[in-house]
Structure 1
């Protein structure tokens, strides 16, 4: 019986070593953008192969976090760059254009850093921000597969004096496979949600490589099993406090989603232009010698670019609104940040789906050949844009503008 139990026991993936050297600390917004472009130029080279063969971006993730871009929203008083959230959004967009799986992996880390800024006391901030500045990567163990709603959690912890013990099961755990620390959303005995930030190799914490989605295939997601996982209380972050009163925490999580979708759309449009310019044939009835002279294709490319630029402009505007809400959090500044971010989320979702679909329409049948792997853009867009339904963003926006109703306070708003 013991043998059979061992056979059926889920097999986890060992964690990765911490970096040997401290991460670089970025000095300005401009430097953050410059470094993002340099990394993206390298990440894009293997993006298609990583998607096709589901190769983990281990080296790329090390380069990304060691570059300093994973600490860009650490406050200056703790030694961080504290760049604008408009800059942070642009950084994630640039990386996501090269490889949106890598861009998405950074999302929960950056969101947790923001939450620590909002809810932790100074001693905890000093400890946790210090780790982030060294290059420590946070993964996530937030969502659960079997709960009734995404915001419902069954994972709980019990108090044991100087530490807590966590039990539960998670899914959609982007970044957990190659994280150094895993923030776990767990409920206390009052039903309040905390981030219990556990060591990746903590006894009882098992990360399973079972992510089977057709898109965002290398986000290092999967199942996380929590079996009496011990977490020191110094690493227990009261995340619920970020939603008891108006804060920008939800908008920050959301604006990074916007950036990923914008990156996917931008990559798809570039691929479309390149294919039309180098491989597509003109339509038989056009009388043209080159596909790039097709007036319908010209019109469609212009339309896609307009919509992408609108989504990018709203991403920047949302980042600026988030900056105001972080500096002065109140009902009005937070609602403004949420609303502009919701507008950006609508446009980023729609342009990501449209651009990745139009790629094949404009490039033609040969663009569907497996050798090009261009379907990865559509698969990535369709998968990532499902994080929260845009139809509900329209509802939030309509209620706000028509009836003055402020958006709800949670990580999806």
Structure 2
């Protein structure tokens, strides 16, 4: 028997795109909106209801996909946002309890928690209602700009272009703004329906398959690395000589690290510790093992400069999760679980500019995952500048 899903807010932009995709997956859909006639015109030959008919609409329903929202692109009062985004949800929750519905999937935005607008306040209040539920499983899916074969909001002018051309323009725009293709949302809903516990999901395209983003990043990585060699070759030589003359051992330290797809590679750094020191994470280093010049190199991050050769070899990028040691099995496991090894490691990263090191593997993996989901060219640039100036992102 097909799973029956009720969708309040089905006539909105996301609803119009997601309904056909969910139908192809075999779900039975109950569509709900403020204007039943409008909803029927958008989705002919479907079962449609308005919000006065929730008792009937929710009969036999297994899950609710809540898309109803008064968006932040609408000029409205705080009371109007409250009525649309909070009061309506209260009524839906009440009716869902009566109908003994097991699951609510609720869509939010990725930036609303930090927003101070009336829209964000109402959405955050709605989430508090959902988080207090103990008889219904709740999945909150946080969304960026959503696109498919049609576009809305600031992307709506693209609807005038042939879709193949619009798709390439979206790829360029997606390098600067976090986006999500509607098919990924449909797949996420599939997974959420099978999940037996409440959860929160940040859902984005993660720049997967974005050739424009990849080319710009690689161009910048190579340009930066060559620029360092051309401009600061003298500094590299001086630092190497200073290390050789002040302590025994090589000037450049080579260490095995875990890279993209779990591949082991040799990472280059200026040696900052006495020869023969134990290989451990930076947070576990014995201060006495660090040489005098090593303290200066670590403080100024100059010890990381030889990694430009890792960038040129294609093992690293300028910005990305810091590569871990093979012996850090707890962190390796957490990173496999969260897909961190799907991207190149970096000389600096989102976690590093927030002063999060490898002492808490689970926290570090979560922050790395957040970066991968939110990464754009502006964020990468912000991380680079923050690393140089010592700012926190």
Task: Compute the TM-score of the two structures, normalised by the length of structure 2.
Answer: 0.27
Instruction: Flag the structure with higher strand content.
Output: 2
Ranked by relative contact order (alpha carbons within 8 Å, sequence separation 6 or more), the top structure is 1
